[in-house]
Amino acid sequence: MKIGILGTGNIGKTLTRRLSAAGHEVKAANSRGPETIEADVLASGGRAVTAAEAVVDVDAMIPSVTVLPEDRTSATASRLNSSEYRLLRLLLLPTWHYFL
């Protein structure tokens, strides 16, 4: 399966490592650019890409990003559930975690 992961914090790193090790084609992106993704995250075969590249030609997209309280939560959710993303026809598996 081709998987795009947005976010390389604790959850995103772990998912990239484990899904790559399981034989999936994983593209990982963060907000700072592909050159900032640590080598250990990619050691199992994941590929560092830009956020735009992470959602192209994938079967599943996993957003693993911090969502700030209330005001940003609904904006982020509506953006990810917009028709633009629905048209991609991919499996969306959010792992949002709240910054407290």
Domain count, the chain: 1
Residues of the domain holding 73: 2-98
Average pLDDT taken over every residue of the chain: 78
Span 56-95, pLDDT tens digits: 889 888 888 765 555 444 554 555 555 444 444 455 556 6
Q: Using a cut of 0.85, tell me whether the model's pTM lies above it.
A: no
Span 6-60, pLDDT tens digits: 889 888 999 999 999 999 999 999 988 999 999 999 999 999 999 889 888 898 8
Helices (H), 1-100: 10-21, 39-42, 51-54, 71-80, 83-87
The answer to whether 20 touches 44, Cβ cutoff 8 Å, is yes
CA dist., res. 44 & res. 34, Å (int): 16
Q: What is the CATH number of the domain that holds 9?
A: 3.40.50.720
pLDDT of residue 15: 93
Tell me which residue of 51, 63, 50 sits closest to 90, measured CA to CA.
Answer: 63
Query: Which tokens hold the place of 94?
Result: 């959010």
